[in-house]
Structure 1
Amino acid sequence: MTTPILQFGTSRFLQAHADLFVSEAMEAGKALGPITVVQTSGDASRAGRIGALSAPEGFPVIIRGLEDGKAVERELRVRSVSRSLSTQANWEEVTRIFVDEARVILSNTGDKGYALVDGDTVDGVPRSFPMKLLALLHARFRGGGMPLTILPCELISRNGEVLQRLIVDLASRHIPDAMFVSWLTDRVIWGNTLVDRIVSEPIEPAGAIAEPYAIWAIERQPGLTLPCEHPCIKLVEDLTPYERLKLHILNLGHTVLADRWRGEGRPQTECVKDILANSAIRGELKEIYREEVVPGFRMHGLGDEAEVYVATTLERFLNPYLEHRLADIAGNHAEKVVRRIIGFQEWCPGVAMPRLSAIARR
C-alpha cells in the first residue's frame, strides 16, 4: 500500500491530532490515504514506539475532559499509520517514499526541530531535520519534481514561511542549482498552520491521552493539498486571528497562573486544575480575561470571538482529567511573559491592563 502522507515526528501530540484525524477520515472515505511515520531524532528511548505505531490493530487515543460542562471519556483506535521508519536505520526507504509516494508532508519535530548542526551536509544521512528535508526535497526534484504540500505543525508563527526561508537558504548554500531553488518556491506549497490540543500523557508503547478540544487551522493558498477532511481541520483565509486567540488567551492564561505559582512557591506537583480550585485565583483570572484581555481583542474587532474562546479555555483549564503541571508551563517564563503578555499590550495600546502590567514588571 502506498502512503501519500509522510510524517516526520512520532510525538504523542501527532498521535492524538493528525494521526487520529486521518484515521477517522479514512473510515469515512475522506483521506488521501494512510501515513508513513518517520522518527528523525534517533532517540533510542523511543525505538519501541516505531513498530507500535504501525501495528495492524492500531494504537489507542483516550479522550478525557469536559464538553459543554459534562465529563466525557472515550477510547479511539488509530489505524492510519501503515509504516513506521527511522531516518537513521531506513534512510533509503524514507527517500523512496518521499520521492515516489508522498503528496503531503507533516512535521512536528519539537522545540528545537529547526535547529541546525555545525558541519552538517546533505551527504549520507544529514543530522538535522532541516538538512534531512533539504536532501529529500532535492531527491524528489531529481526524480521528476512532482508538486508537494508541506504542513509543518511546529509551534512557530507562520511556520510554513519560516521553514521555506530556512530550506531555500540552505539550498542556496549547499545545492547551488537555480532550477532547484525555483522549484522549491514554485512547486512546493509551504502551508502555514496552527495546531491546538493539549495531549497530557503518553500511552506506552504508542498512544496518548488528550483533551476533547482540538483544532488544526491551515491557511488557504493555491495548490495546497489537505491530508484529509475532518471537522477539526479548518481551511482559513488568515491564521492571524487564530494565532492571537491562542497566544493571548490560552497561552497568556497559562503564564498568568505560572506567575502566581512561582511567586507563591506553590507545590511542584500542582497542576492547572489544582490552582484553579482556589476560587480567589480562578476569580482573578476571569477578571483579567473580562476586563483586560477581551477589551484588547474588541479593539481589533474580535471581541465576540475572544469571549467564546475564553469560555472554551476556562473549560479546558478545569478539565478534571488533565495533569498539566505548572512546573512544566513555567519553563522559560521570562520569554513567555514577553511574547504572551507584553506582546499583547503592544498589540492593544491604550487598553488598561493593570494586572497584566504588574506581571510584566516582575
Structure 2
Amino acid sequence: MDKLNHNPILQFGTSRFLQAHVDLFVSEAAAAGEALGNITIVQTTHSAQGAARVAAFRQGGYPVRIRGREHGAEVDQERRVQAVTQAWQTSTDWPQVREAAVAARVIVSNTGDTGYQLSNDDHAGLVAGDVAPASFPAKLLVLLHGRHLAGALPVTIFPCELVVDNGSVLRDVVVTLARQWQLDGAFVDYLQNGCLWINSLVDRIVSEAIEPIGAVAEPYALWAIERQAGMLLPCSHPQVVVTDDLRAYEQRKLFLLNLGHTYLAQLWQDAGSPASMTVKEAMQDAAMLAALETVWQDEVLPVFAAMGADEGVAAAAYLAQVKERFNNSFLAHRLADIAQNHGEKIRRRIAPVVALAQQLCPTLAQPHLRALLATGVQQ
C-alpha cells in the first residue's frame, strides 16, 4: 500500500456502490492506460465498521462479482479492483486527508441521502484546526480552503449523490457556507469560479456487500456526466458517458426504471402478494407483467416519442435493458423494500411524466398512471 498522498483521485465515501461503480471503472480503465491514476478513499463517518473497511482497503485490492443478464446471456464473473491504493478516516486521519486534498486533481463523492445536510457543530474555527468538521460540505470547504492556501490549482469535483443537479447543488451549499463563515473573497471566487462542480447521474444496482470489502453488482452500469469546459475526467470507460443532455438520461431512468419499480410495488400491494416477493418474481407473474408492459408501452414510451424520434429510440433501447435488469435471477430486490415511502415515490416518479404528457401529447390518456397518481395523493 502506497503511504504517500499523491493519488490524483480523492474519493469521499466507501460504500459498496462506489466500490462496484467508480472504483471499478477507474481500475479497468487503468489497465488500458485510460485512467488519471489511483484512488485515495476517505471514510467520512466514524464507526467501528468504517474503521475496519479502511483497514481492509489498506491491504490491497478487492473483488467485485458481476451477476445478472446482459444482451440475453447470463453473466456471472468476478473482477478485481486494484485502483484504490490508500484509505483514510476523517475522524482519525484528518491531517493526512488534508494533504491528500492538496495533491488531488479530481474529487468524487457519494455520501448518502443526507450527505449535503449541514451540522450545527460546524464553525469557522475548524478551517485552521486539526479536527474534521461534522458535515460533508463543511469538510469539503475546509479541505478546499487548505488547497487554496497551498496554491494548488482549482479541482474538478464529481458528486455522485442521487440529487438532481448534484454538482450545482453541492457548490451552492459550500459557497453559501464559506460566506456564512466570512471567508475571504478570493477563496469564495476560487470555489465558485475556479473549481468545476460537475452534475452527473449514476445508475447500477449493487445488491450486496462482500466482507470486509467488495460487492455484488448487476452487469448494467452508467455514469452519465454533464459536459463542462475544462473538466478533468477520472477515467475513460465504456460505461462512463459525457453528455450535453444529462436530463435525457435522468428522464429515462426516472420514467422507465424507477416508475416501473413503483408501479410493480403498487400492483404488489393491490394483490396482497407475499411480503417476500421480488421484482424478478413479479416479472414472472403474467398479470403483473402484462399490466406493467401496458403502462410502459401505452403510457410512457409515447411521451418519449413525442420528444423526438431519436429520444423515442433511445428510450426503447433503455427499456430493453431495464427488462433484463428486472429479470436478474441473482438479485433479490424485494417489492416490500421498493414500497417504502411509496406515496412520495409516486409523486416523484409518476407526476412528472403525467405533466410532460399534458405538455407534449395532451391526447394521451394515461389511465393507469393517473389512477396511481391519485392513489399517491391520498397517502
Instruction: Specify the alignment match of 2:89 in structure 1.
Output: 86
Q: How big is each residue's C-alpha offset from its partner over 1:317-362, in whole Å with a ceiling of 9 and x where there is no partner?
A: 0011111122221121111111110111112211321011111111
Distance 1:299 1:309 in 2: 16
Instruction: Specify the alignment match of 2:70 in structure 1.
Output: 67
1:285-296 map, 5 Å: 285-296=292-303
Aligned residue identity for 2:188: V
Aligned residue identity for 1:22: V
Instruction: Specify the alignment match of 1:17 in structure 2.
Output: 21
Task: Work out whether residues 200 and 209 of structure 1, in 8 Å CA contact, stay in contact via their aligned partners in 2.
Answer: yes
Listed as ranges, the gaps of 5+ residues in structure 2 are none
1:104-143 map, 5 Å: 104-122=106-124, 123=126, 124-143=131-150
Report the CA distance shift for 1:43/1:326 in structure 2 as closer, same or farther (over 3 A). farther
Instruction: Specify the alignment match of 2:371 in structure 1.
Output: 358
> Which of 246, 259, 263 matches 2:253?
246
Instruction: Specify the alignment match of 1:321 in structure 2.
Output: 330
Task: Work out whether residues 54 and 79 of structure 1, in 8 Å CA contact, stay in contact via their aligned partners in 2.
Answer: no
- Pairing 1:334–2:338 present: no
Task: Work out whether residues 64 and 212 of structure 1, in 8 Å CA contact, stay in contact via their aligned partners in 2.
Answer: yes
Distance 1:282 1:183 in 2: 52
SS at match of 1:348: helix
Instruction: Specify the alignment match of 1:304 in structure 2.
Output: 313
Instruction: Specify the alignment match of 1:263 in structure 2.
Output: 270
Distance 1:120 1:156 in 2: 23
SS at match of 2:87: strand
Task: Work out whether residues 30 and 228 of structure 1, in 8 Å CA contact, stay in contact via their aligned partners in 2.
Answer: yes
1:114-193 map, 5 Å: 114-122=116-124, 123=126, 124-193=131-200
Residue 190 of structure 1 deviates from its aligned partner by: 0.3
Structure 1 ranges of 4+ moved more than 3 A = none
Query: C-alpha root-mean-square deviation of aligned residues, in Å?
Result: 1.2
Q: How big is each residue's C-alpha offset from its partner over 1:231-257, in whole Å with a ceiling of 9 and x where there is no partner?
A: 111111120100100011111101101
Distance 1:34 1:242 in 2: 28
- Pairing 1:3–2:7 present: yes
- Pairing 1:344–2:353 present: yes
Aligned residue identity for 1:320: S
Distance 2:31 2:58 in 1: 17
SS at match of 2:307: coil
> Which of 39, 46, 49 matches 1:42?
46
Task: Work out whether residues 271 and 326 of structure 1, in 8 Å CA contact, stay in contact via their aligned partners in 2.
Answer: yes
Residue 119 of structure 1 deviates from its aligned partner by: 3.4
SS at match of 1:285: helix
Identity %: 50
Residue 45 of structure 1 deviates from its aligned partner by: 2.5
TM-score by length of 1: 0.97
Distance 1:260 1:168 in 2: 44
Residue 143 of structure 1 deviates from its aligned partner by: 1.0
Residue 111 of structure 1 deviates from its aligned partner by: 0.8
Residue 187 of structure 1 deviates from its aligned partner by: 1.2
Instruction: Specify the alignment match of 1:103 in structure 2.
Output: 105
Task: Work out whether residues 10 and 39 of structure 1, in 8 Å CA contact, stay in contact via their aligned partners in 2.
Answer: yes
SS at match of 1:227: coil
Distance 1:221 1:261 in 2: 42
Residue 305 of structure 1 deviates from its aligned partner by: 1.2
Residue 145 of structure 1 deviates from its aligned partner by: 3.7
Listed as ranges, the gaps of 5+ residues in structure 1 are none
Residue 269 of structure 1 deviates from its aligned partner by: 2.2
SS at match of 1:37: strand
Task: Work out whether residues 121 and 134 of structure 2, in 8 Å CA contact, stay in contact via their aligned partners in 1.
Answer: no
Aligned residue identity for 2:366: M
- Pairing 1:32–2:62 present: no
